[in-house]
Structures are given as C-alpha cells and as structure tokens.
C-alpha cells in the first residue's frame, strides 16, 4: 500500500520542546530508523509540531492521514490485517468506545501510560488512553445576572427558564455524549424527560455551533447555553475579549456527578505493523511538555496526572470532573440520539 504522507505545513516553535530547525535537518537529531502511521480525526495544525518533535527526539518518522473518526474506523476494518495504521486518534469518548467495540484496538502494556493517565481516562483493558479533555459548561448573559436555581444540567429543564435557552443541534457529538452521560447516571426515562424539558425552554430552534451560541448569549439574544470550555477560551483575545467578558460561567453538578467532560484519545491498532513505535509515540504524548503543548494548542485540559492547564481555560476556573468512563457514554449514545428525536431537539 502507498505510504501515508505527513503533510506538515510549517515549522512551529514549541515552549518546552525542541525548536524547529531553520534550514535542513537538525544535526543533533537521530537518523530516521523507523516510522509510525497515524489515523487521526484531530484536525489541529498545532499537533503537527509535536509530530516533528517526536521525530527529532526518536528518529521515528510520523506519517498521518486525517478523516472523520467513523470513516477511519471503517477504513481500518476494511483494510484488515493489511492496514498500515499503527495509531488511531479521535476527539470524542463515544468514538473511542466505537473503536474498541469494532475490535480494531489492542491492549497496551505500558507502565508509563498506566502511571500517567488516570484510570477513568483510559480503557479498563488499556486499549485507548485520553490525551486531553474539555468540559461542557453552562454559560449565561452576565448583564442579566446569574439565573437563580441554575446549578446543574438537570436545572436546564426547569420551566423557570422557558424561552431563555439557545443550543446547537442534537447531532453535535458533544450534546450526544452529554445526554448519554445523563442516561448513565439517571436512567433513560429521566434523561428523556430532561431533553423534552430543555426543548420546551428553547428561545429558538437549535442552530449554529458553540461559538455562535456564545456570541448570542453575550449579545442578549438568549440568556443561557451549553458550550465546551475550549470554544469559550477562543474568545480570550484582545479582539474578542468583549464577548468573553459578557458571559458568566457555571461548572454544573459540582455537588452531584461532577461536570461532564469529553476527551481526545488514542489507541494502538490491533494490526499495527510498527507496534513498538506506536507505543513509544503514545508514551511521548503523555510527557509533561507534550501534554501542555497538545492541550494548549486547542485550549484543552491535559489528561496526564500532575500537569496543570496553562492555556486560557485556566482562567475559567476550577471544577470537579465527572469520572464516568467512556464505555458508559458510548453504550448509551444510540439511546441518546433516540431521546433527542423524541423530544424534538433537532
């Protein structure tokens, strides 16, 4: 099969990582002695500098292709034992579960990964490991004040908030994962009633994305929305600061289940032709420097133990994360989609 192309577009200087060389190969870098093939649905250009640094440190060349996670899972399945894929990377807990259910990931015996990644952020059989996390939080229009009684996801269904909520479509993987977590915690019946209650409180039909709904809340077009922390952090710039300053933040369910988090993660493909290199690559991504850069590139939280966030999300505040495993989320995603449809959350 034709070799995969890396497709690097630019050299990026990394804080805490080796600087990019300016005119040819780094004379101190080891010779290229192997390769690792990555199938990734992470589409952040900042990741490319990490791949370059991994090669610079190890001499292992990184080949990468990008596509939707479901398409990559299907591709690996169809390629079978001849697949060149060594590592599967995705940005959603449900997709990690789908990959393990498809049987394309192999257990990894690595003390480094076991010690670095908390138990709730890795597969019980060590078939995948989280790399970064993002929290799904409630925002509100600060000028109108924090809505009284709005402290949990469940509160969003309270009739007191009728006509005040704007949301993105239920097809968003982040909304699906959240409802799947509510099913896991409260059962399908209560989760279905919650979805109906939130729909009854919509100010307008679902539209846009997290970014546009943040802008809508800031402008007073609606009062309340659900968004991922990394989208909110993108407004922490001089040009967009007024939007960020106009919204207040609630980290939901502090006293109950904890705030829902989703994750990006990776696993070694069962048929990996370069398995040792694949494991070494995952271990590299859990190092302190790589974790900070990986997370900061998209304003996420590092998954590894003891690595504090240093991007704009740190300013949003601290919270207690829900430790529900990805399997519990993945197992309930199909039911979540059905409940959204029944509730009329388009």
pLDDT of residue 32: 67
On whether the CB atoms of residues 160 and 198 are closer than 8 A, the answer is no
Write out pLDDT tens, residues 158-171.
999 999 999 999 99
Instruction: pLDDT band for 10, please (50, 70, 90 cuts).
Output: very low
34-133+263-315 homologous superfamily: Periplasmic binding protein-like II (3.40.190.10)
Say yes or no to pLDDT of 87 above 50. yes
Say yes or no to pLDDT of 18 above 80. no
Distances (CA, A) of 180 to 12, 25, 170, 192, 209: 38, 48, 12, 11, 20
pLDDT of residue 109: 96
CATH topology (fold) of 134-260+318-343: D-Maltodextrin-Binding Protein; domain 2 (3.40.190)
Write out pLDDT tens, residues 34-50.
999 999 998 877 788 89
Say yes or no to pLDDT of 30 above 80. no
Helix or strand holding residue 257 (H, E): none
Say yes or no to pLDDT of 20 above 50. no
Residue ranges per structural domain of the chain:
34-133+263-315, 134-260+318-343
What is the phi/psi pair of residue 41, to 5°? -105, 5
Question: Is residue 220 helix, strand or coil?
Answer: coil
Instruction: pLDDT band for 33, please (50, 70, 90 cuts).
Output: confident
pLDDT of residue 311: 85
Write out pLDDT tens, residues 169-201.
999 999 999 999 999 999 999 999 999 999 999
pLDDT of residue 300: 94
SS3 content of the chain, % helix, strand, coil (to 5): 40, 15, 40
Write out pLDDT tens, residues 135-155.
999 999 999 999 999 999 999
Fold equal for 34-133+263-315 and 134-260+318-343: yes
pLDDT of residue 310: 86
Write out pLDDT tens, residues 294-336.
999 899 999 999 999 888 999 999 999 999 988 899 999 999 9
Write out pLDDT tens, residues 234-292.
999 999 999 999 999 999 999 999 999 999 999 999 999 999 999 999 999 999 999 99
3-state secondary structure 124-144: CCCCCEEEEEEEEEEEEEHHH
Share of the chain above pLDDT 70, in %: 91
Quote the strand ranges of 21-80, DSSP E.
Answer: 34-40, 60-66
């Amino acid at each position: 099969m034709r070799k995969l192309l890396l497709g690097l577009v630019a050299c990026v200087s990394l804080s805490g990582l080796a600087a990019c060389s300016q005119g040819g190969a780094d004379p101190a870098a080891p010779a290229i002695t192997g390769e690792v093939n990555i199938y990734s649905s992470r589409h952040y250009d900042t990741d490319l500098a990490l791949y370059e640094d991994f090669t610079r440190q190890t001499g292992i060349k990184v080949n990468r292709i990008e596509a939707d996670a479901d398409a990559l899972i299907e591709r690996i399945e169809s390629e079978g034992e001849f697949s060149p894929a060594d590592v599967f990377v995705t940005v959603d807990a449900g997709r990690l579960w789908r990959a393990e259910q498809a049987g394309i990931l192999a257990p990894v015996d690595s003390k480094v990964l076991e010690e670095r990644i908390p138990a709730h952020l890795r597969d019980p059989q060590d078939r995948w490991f989280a790399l970064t996390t993002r929290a799904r939080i409630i925002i509100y229009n600060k000028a109108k004040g924090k809505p009284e009684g709005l402290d949990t996801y469940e509160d969003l269904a309270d009739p007191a908030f009728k006509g005040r909520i704007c949301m993105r479509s239920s097809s968003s993987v982040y909304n699906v994962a959240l409802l799947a977590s509510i099913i896991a915690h409260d059962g399908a019946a209560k989760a279905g009633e919650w979805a109906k209650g939130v729909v009854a409180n919509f100010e307008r039909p679902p539209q846009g994305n997290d970014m546009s709904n943040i802008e809508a809340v800031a402008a007073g077009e609606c009062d309340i929305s659900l968004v991922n922390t990394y989208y909110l952090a993108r407004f922490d710039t001089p040009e967009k600061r007024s939007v960020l300053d106009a919204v207040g933040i609630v980290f939901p369910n502090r006293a109950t289940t904890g705030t829902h988090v989703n994750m990006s993660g990776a696993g070694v493909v069962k048929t990996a032709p370069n398995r040792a290199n694949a494991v070494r690559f995952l271990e590299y991504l859990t190092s302190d420097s790589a974790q900070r850069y990986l997370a900061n590139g998209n304003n996420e939280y590092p998954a590894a133990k003891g690595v504090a966030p240093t991007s704009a999300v740190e300013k949003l505040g601290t919270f207690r994360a829900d430790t529900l495993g990805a399997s519990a989320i993945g197992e309930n995603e199909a039911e979540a989609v059905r409940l959204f449809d029944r509730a009329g959350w388009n």
